Structure 1
Amino acid sequence: MKFNWMFLFTFLALTDLANAQFSSGNQFFIGANTTVSIHGLVLRPTFNNTVWSNKVLTRSPDAIVGEPTASIQQVHTFNEPTSFSGLVGLTYLTGNLNGNTEDDLQIAYFNPDEKYVTTTGSTVDKTIHFVSKNFTGFNNSFLRITATNANSVLPVTLVSFKALKEGEQAQLAWSTSDEINSDYFEVQRSAEGKIWNAIGKVQAAGDSKAERTYTFTDNSPANGQNLYRLKMVDFDGTYTHSKIVVLDFESNMMVSFYPNPLTEKLLIQADDWNEVKSVELVTKQGNVIPMNNSKAGSDPGSREYDFRKYPVGTYYIKVTRQDGGIRTQQVVKM
């Protein structure tokens, strides 16, 4: 069954409601290079293989939580992952930009394998308020389609992750937003950022658009440095890791780190460098990079480390003493 695209454009645009829904029926065919617009979602396939069977497409005004900006207040969701090759676009109202800059809009999508992806190379036509991107090949899969600014990440499942010392215990707390297919959180601990051990498991909400807070107590933290991270596991077995937070339960080393934030160089000042065994940089992903190259700093007892080759972001500097004691400091490169 083939539909005339002008009829689809006119009919579905006029019925463009906040929570509109479209059902394909048993068979819905879109010919190659034929443009259809379904409640603001514009599709123009490249090939004559776009045949939908029992597809349901829903438009929602509920934005996907993101950082630094959420999506626009227009999200199109299929009832199942849908393959498509060709142009994908959105017509939107400027009142639904939700803090996004129109010039910087990019098509964003979600599927179970890639999770949320904010694309690059989208085209924006401000005269008709339309953003689009051409998807080539045969491996494109869409479950949700929306738009957001180029530097935004969707969704920010983990809003915050903190660790606090309470006596001889480590209190961990984290909050999430817009959980999708979330099964559980595995709490992991490491002394050096290389080997991680699971020390606990906290059940997740599953699917939730509300902000939720979780807690975990480490009753037996190790002496010295304790690095913590979360392994966030979905029902399909896929997972991602959180950022790393650090607590130190024994550190007598007199060490200072400056400037912080930094741009090109970091100075580390120690009371006795003969007691220092190593200096290492730990990324938020847990990668450990030896910092063997340094030169004398401008201040007595200081050494200067070149940070120009490292990307902007948050890092942890790990200073290990000859006796095994560890001092860790978070630094931010601007």
Structure 2
Amino acid sequence: MFQTYAIVNVDGGTDSYRAGNRNADGATTFNNSSYGIANTSITLKGGEIKTFKNNGGDVTGARLYYRVYPAGSPAGAFTLINLPFAANLNGSGDQKWATTMANINMATGLPAGNYTLEVYWQITTNLGDRFDSNGGANVKASFTVSSTTLPVTLTSFNAKANNHMASLDWATATEQGNAYFDVERSADARLFEHVGRVEGRGTTSTPQVYSFSDESPSLGTNYYRLRQVDADGRFSYSPVRAVQIRSNGELAIWGNPAAEQLGVAGLEVGSTVDLLDLNGQLRSSQLTNNNRLHIDVRNLPSGTYLLRVAEPAGVQSKRVVVLH
């Protein structure tokens, strides 16, 4: 390896790339540096390793290890962050392994005080493991947690597939000035889009539980994170969670009975979706351009209807109810 970095963000500001002992571009050195005072969060976004191949060596994996402890009192096990393959570089055989999506708020649960962040880097090759660890002493940076840090303490965040939808739930231990949570989704764990908002509970010292359903995830892997925003506009990100949405050939219908919209998922692109009344009269027909569809039923009278989906593999029909 010829370059190593840890990526840290303080209070939602600019990401800071600080280099280990393998520093070829003059970046700020991690060892003996300080991140200053964290007023709301100090987030370990991830890390980066640049590697090269020589003498038959082939890199097969990369990792960053870290631990946090009170200044002057080293203790505790190291936690691993996997650094997936990111890119081939200009040099022959040169590669980059990196992530900025770990999003670990290191101040979670810490009282006000001075702390040390200790890290080292590792790559796995067909010739054995290699380390950037400062000769085994590792590299260390300092930071201070202020007494105003962490107005919201997130204790859990889970995401799972549920009938062609993604169901998210999370919990907080305490909240101070919590305005809301933005739910964000990504197809590649890099570029995120806003998909929903859940209002916060303001200020409370009792545990709170939240949930959100994404009715329109894409087939395949969807990545989710929370953007927690305080009343004063400051924000922090949660860790990223992945949900696998699979098509099993079965239609999934939600909002049934429906008053305004009927949702259909599990569709093949190019399918025709018809809605017929029980007299066989066609009341709605749409051609799909993705795997899900919303049908507006506000102008239909209450009653039972037949949902008919014509796909290349055949025709499926299900009864649905409109109820105003």
If the length of structure 2 is used for normalisation, what is the TM-score? 0.32
Pick the structure with more strand per residue. 2
Pick the structure with more helix per residue. 1
Bigger RCO (CA 8 Å, 6+ sep) = 2
